[in-house]
Amino acid sequence: MTDWLSPEEWTAVRLSLKVALVATSASLLPGIAMAYALERGRFWGRQALDVLVHLPLVLPPVVVGYALLLGFGRRGPMGSLLAEQFGVVLSFRWTGAALACAIMGFPLLVRAIRLSLETVDRKLEDAAGTLGAHPAWVFFVVTLPLILPGIIAGMVLSFAKAMGEFGATITFVSNIPGETQTIPSAIYTFTQVPGGEGGALRLAFVSVAISIAALWMSEWMARRVRRRFLA
């Protein structure tokens, strides 16, 4: 059943899924917090933070990858700190690929959550306060359920971005088969060698199939949430 993809191709597919899932789940909580801070917060430097979060959306991915290499590479300030203190190495590891993907997808995640936060009727939160609810409780019982569709949409976008991320990943963690070679890097490698067309085509199909499945699943989840919760 699995022989229509070669073992190396399977490895790339598995790795891509792992990287994308880890990147998306790891950025979920920070993404919700960031969206909330940017949408509701009134603090000094909010706009600068907004720009910083959105930067990966407009920068060339290679630049983001290079910045990660400088910061989180073995000799980078963050990289050496993580390696010495926690024994965590990111450069040229799949964890580094996940970090690159998470950063590239973060603005998409934050944007989607923020948009749905914007549409939440503030009176619903006000009402909870007048009914005796603590602000933290208001967030979990009122706000969070209302922005769930936005969170799902943001996660799908972030997952899709991670599945397709190439420039930042290859710059930061290179293209090591079995460690950092995701579907896009594998396709790239196939196109560089004679007779690689078949592999490139097969992986391209897989990547289309995964994207469609992700979209379909998010649509289904969003519909369920909406039917359960919202008008």
Partner 1 sequence: MAHVSIRDVRKSFGSVSIIKGVDIDILDGEFVILVGPSGCGKSTLLRMIAGLEDITAGEIRIGSRIVNDVPPKDRDIAMVFQSYALYPHMTVAENMGFSLKLKGMPQVEQKKRVGDAAASLGLTPLLDRYPRQLSGGQRQRVAMGRAIVRDPQVFLFDEPLSNLDAKLRVAMRAEIKELHQRLKTTTIYVTHDQIEAMTMADKIVVMHDGTVEQIGAPLELYDRPANRFVAGFIGSPAMNFIEGCLEQDGLALPSGTVLPVEAQLPVARGSKLTCGIRPEHLQIAPPGTPGSIPATVAVVEPTGADTTLIVKAEGGHLTAVLRERSTLRPGEAVALKPAAHQAHLFDEQGGRIAAA
**Does 42 contact partner 1 by CB under 8 A?**
no
Question: Is residue 228 involved in binding partner 1 (CB under 8 A)?
Answer: yes
HSE of 95, CA atoms in CB hemisphere, 13 A = 10
166 near 61, Cβ under 8 Å? yes
Cβ proximity of 151 and 70 under 8 Å = no
Instruction: Provide DSSP, 147-166.
Output: HHHHHHHHHHHHHHHHHH--
117 binds partner 1 (CB under 8 A): no
Q: Which of 51, 81, 124, 193 binds partner 1 (CB under 8 A)?
A: 124
User: In this structure, are residues 13 and 203 in contact, taking their beta carbons and an 8 Å threshold?
Assistant: yes
Binding test (CB under 8 A) with partner 1, winner from 43, 130, 136, 194 = 130
Distance CA 71, CA 84 (A): 15
CA 150, CA 217: separation in Å to the nearest integer?
14
Closer Cβ to partner 1, 79 or 149, answer by number:
149
Q: Which of residues 141-180 bind partner 1 (CB under 8 A)?
A: 142, 145-146
Instruction: Please state the closest distance from residue 113 (CB atom) to partner 1, in A.
Output: 17
Instruction: For residue 118, state whether it binds partner 1 (rule: CB under 8 A).
Output: no
Smallest separation (angstroms) from partner 1 to the CB of 143:
11
Nearer Cβ to partner 1, position 15 or 142? 142
User: Taking CB under 8 A as the rule, does residue 224 contact partner 1?
Assistant: no
